[in-house]
Chains A and B, each alone.
Chain A
């Protein structure tokens, strides 16, 4: 079956421009997560969705970052006025979240979007 897909796979943008990154989770997965990996760093949590709601946005690094999810499916991560420090690989993951097991559910990752801000 189809896995998690992300688009674009690569994005090069100029400092100050806005970018949108898209994630298509596995069908039926209610939980969706955004992470990023900057050069030399570990995977950093950004935001988590349960359905269309985002109970945990604690990882968003600044108010230039926002995310939404519609129809309990596709999610978009938007970065406004990009800065060079935003350059990273942005990963999306989805999970068949069950209230009985929460974060014990395996997360399925997409291939990521490599963002380069010049």
Chain B
């Protein structure tokens, strides 16, 4: 079982401000790191699948970086909007194992 930690557990951010949060995971036998956004009453939605050390991916105002050697990933949101309010989940997987192990998430609330 992978030990996945996300911090902070919850976050309140003023609309227009930028923010970031962290996902930590074991670096050994790393294969992939998934980021999902889960809005209340909706299905989790994939944001990024990251595989390479040093990788940076971007989707609109959201971007993510990956450090597989030290076992962490950052998710950044630039110019937060109310629609960014959601729980953000990360999930690493190990080579040869189809299972994703989800962290408990960072619950983000944007204050208008």
Give A contacts to B, CB under 8 Å: 3-4, 31, 33, 35, 41-45, 48, 50, 55-56, 58-59, 91, 93, 97, 102-112
Contacts of B98 in A (CB 8 A): 31, 33, 48, 50, 55-56, 97, 102-103
Contact between chains at A103 and B97 (CB < 8 Å): yes
Distance A14 CA – B93 CA, assembled complex (angstroms): 36
Contacts of A109 in B (CB 8 A): 36, 43-45
Contacts of B111 in A (CB 8 A): none
Distance A93 CA – B91 CA, assembled complex (angstroms): 14
Contact between chains at B32 and A58 (CB < 8 Å): no
Distance A43 CA – B91 CA, assembled complex (angstroms): 9
Give B contacts to A, CB under 8 Å: 4, 31-32, 34, 36, 42-46, 49, 51, 89, 91, 93, 96-105
Interface of B is mostly: loop
Contacts of B93 in A (CB 8 A): 102-104
Interface centre among A42, A103, A112 (most CB of B within 10 A): A103
B88–chain A nearest beta-carbon distance, Å: 12
Contacts of A111 in B (CB 8 A): 42-43
Contact between chains at B99 and A107 (CB < 8 Å): no
Given contacts A42-B104, A43-B102, contact A107 B34 (CB under 8 A): yes
Contacts of A35 in B (CB 8 A): 102
Contacts of A56 in B (CB 8 A): 97-99
A5–chain B nearest beta-carbon distance, Å: 10
Contact between chains at B51 and A104 (CB < 8 Å): yes
Contact between chains at B43 and A110 (CB < 8 Å): yes
Contact of B89 (CB < 8 Å), options: A43, A59, A105: A43
6 A-B pairs with the lowest CB-CB distances in the bound complex, closest first: A43-B102, A103-B93, A42-B104, A109-B43, A104-B32, A106-B46
Contacts of A3 in B (CB 8 A): 43
Contacts of A59 in B (CB 8 A): 99
